[in-house]
Structure 1
Amino acid sequence: MISLRGWLTPPRPTRPVTDPGERRAIVVELVIVFTVTLGLSGVRSLLSLLDALLRPERLSDQQVALNVRQAQVELIDLLRQLLSATQLFAWGALGLYLLWRAGIRLREVGLDRDRPGRDALGGAGLAALIGLPGLALYFVARALGMNLTVLPSTLDDTWWRPIVLTIAAAANAWAEEVLVVGYLITRLRQLGLGENGSLVVSSVLRGSYHLYQGFGGFVGNVVMGLVFGRVWQRTNRLWPLVVAHTLLDVVAFVGYALLRGKVSWLP
């Protein structure tokens, strides 16, 4: 049985890289990867929040949509939605490729296929642990005027909408969990940062690219990052995080699309 102290102060599983040239290469790699991917998204989200704060309306009176129409022609819209998801899958694949090039196998970050059943159950449990408190935090933050009104989907009611939203959920989960947990924390370990320090950096980054939603979105995703990152650090299984994140987003995206206009408490 793992003690509370073991969860709060886990041991570092790998030795830091000591060669100065290799350390510089890792730092440069991190800067490039996150400038291209989620780090740049964090800067954009910060600017988006600043823009919202400078408007006369309260944050809760403003809206932000997550999955929006990208073209007037339905077929082109479908193809652009799929391309957006493909980009996210590619971001995650980039992180894994760079780890592989550094001699780190998929098994070492918990992406092997040895225990699909246990990983799926673990993911479902994580989704349940995060889902309801996260939803409650969103409604509280919005009621306090600290969060924008988030519309998970404004896509038209087409035959492909639930399929595209499910793919988008999986793509978001893959990109975020692979890059922000598996890739980033592994690289920070190699630079000598401790497990708690790596966890904080990962969690704050996760929160940063949700700042466009408001302060509630930032805090909620930082907490999610702390939980998900520590679970990975203790279990070395990344699939449960991907599964949990996918389930959370599927419920949010598809559930909202199906219920919008049918229940009074949804905007």
Structure 2
Amino acid sequence: MTHPNEQPAADLPLARPVASPAAGEEPVVWEPVNQPLVMAREVPFLSPLLMSKREAWIDLVLLLSIMIGAFGAVIVLLDSGGWQPPIETQIAVQAFGFGALALAATHWRLRAHGQNPAVIGLGRDRALPALGWGMLALLGCYVMNVVLVTGYVAIRGGAGMDHLMTEKTEVMSLVAQTPTLVVFPLTLFVGLYEEIVFRGLFLSRLKVILGGNAWPVVVSSLVFGFFHLGQGPIGAMQATVIGALFGVVAVYRRTIWSCIVAHAALDAVAFFLAPLLQYYLSNFNQNMPQ
């Protein structure tokens, strides 16, 4: 099956004769036509790509290896005492450095296949639909988080509530220490690079490997949750659920711009409300019956 923007291989003029042969002359000399082939780089997000499963696997393995390697190197460096900056500096450096590395790796793999950003969901989109769907996705994040937290506490009872409050207090305490001047660009950048990597590159490659849309969304959201284990098990579960929601939006809209809007807004609200949430969570923990 040929994509509408593609020409069948048989119809592409790959070469042309320099001149018609005359009687007794040498055979026709052919020279290449200076016309680029229409390749996968013009295929929109989540449409069939002109790449093999092996190539898609290589992209995912390389990207995961780079990200896990960088994450592990930071942990080893911190544990060894070789790098002990203030916590707010750690958060900023890790987020910007890790994100820049992930984006560079994504750009590298796109160039390796001659693909443009539209292949990973960064094609043209209209502003109002992108913002509207982004706000709907943001609302969906809060609804799903309430359901998840309520279910967790209902299953685990008092121990679940204690675990939840302790974990969130620790996370918000770290976030609250980040300077305001760092918070705004950080929230925008994290939302941008995580969606490009986990919804953009991962979904496009997983669709080549697994086919369909459901399994690529499930697997990419699980990987997204894995990379949020640093926020604790509850934080990782929340990231997995949010990743699944963003994956559904990306599949439905055939773009990741709404996901970027929702992700950046979600992080911005969390960062800017962190001091207030830290205060209330700390008081709640102190007043909980022992």
TM-score range, shorter chain: 0.5 to 0.7
2:103 paired with 1:83: no
Once residues 279 and 213 of structure 2 are traced to their aligned partners in structure 1, the CA distance between those partners, rounded to angstroms, is 45
Structure 1 residue 230, shift from structure 2 partner: 1.5
Structure 1: runs of 5+ lacking an equivalent: 1-11, 46-69
TM-score between the two structures when normalised by the length of structure 2: 0.63
- Preserved CA contact (<8 Å) 2:176 2:271: no
Pairing partner for 1:152 from 138, 153, 172: 172
Q: 2:106 aligns with which of 71, 95, 108?
A: 95
Greater than 4 Å deviation, 4+ residue runs: 38-42
Partner of 1:111: 122
Q: CA RMSD in A?
A: 3.4
d(CA) in 1 for partners of 2:280 and 2:208? 51
Q: Distance in 2 between matches of 1:34 and 1:244?
A: 24
Percent of counterpart pairs with the same letter?
24
Q: Is there any run of 5+ residues in structure 2 with no aligned partner, and where?
A: 1-45, 76-83
The verdict on how the C-alpha distance between 1:105 and 1:216 changes in structure 2, with shifts beyond 3 A counting, is same
Higher relative contact order (CA 8 A, sep 6+): 1
TM-score for the superposition, normalised by structure 1: 0.67
Quick one: distance in 2 between partners of 1:163 and 1:232? 30
Distance 2:70 2:223 in 1: 10
Post-superposition shift, 1:172? 2.2
Deviations 1:147-168 (A, max 9, x none): 45122343676xx812312222
- Equivalent residue, structure 2, for 1:36: 66
Cα distance in structure 1, aligned partners of 2:254 and 2:270? 27
User: How far, CA to CA, are the matches of 1:177 and 1:240 in structure 2?
Assistant: 10
Partner of residue 57, structure 2: 27
CA contact (8 A) 1:138 1:217 kept: no
Q: Distance in 2 between matches of 1:174 and 1:141?
A: 29
Question: Which residue is equivalent to 1:65?
Answer: none
Alignment size in residue pairs:
221
Equivalences for residues 1-267 of structure 1 within 5 A: 13-14=47-48, 17-18=51-52, 23-37=53-67, 71-72=85-86, 82-87=92-97, 88-135=99-146, 137-138=148-149, 141=152, 143-145=158-160, 147=164, 149-150=167-168, 151-154=171-174, 161-261=179-279, 264-265=283-284
How much does 1:240 deviate?
Answer: 0.9
SS of 2:172's partner is: strand
Q: Deviations over 1:209-265 (max 9, x none)?
A: 223444433332222122111111121121111111111111112211245336744
Letter in 1 for 2:260: V
CA–CA distance in structure 2, aligned partners of residues 144 and 221 of structure 1: 22
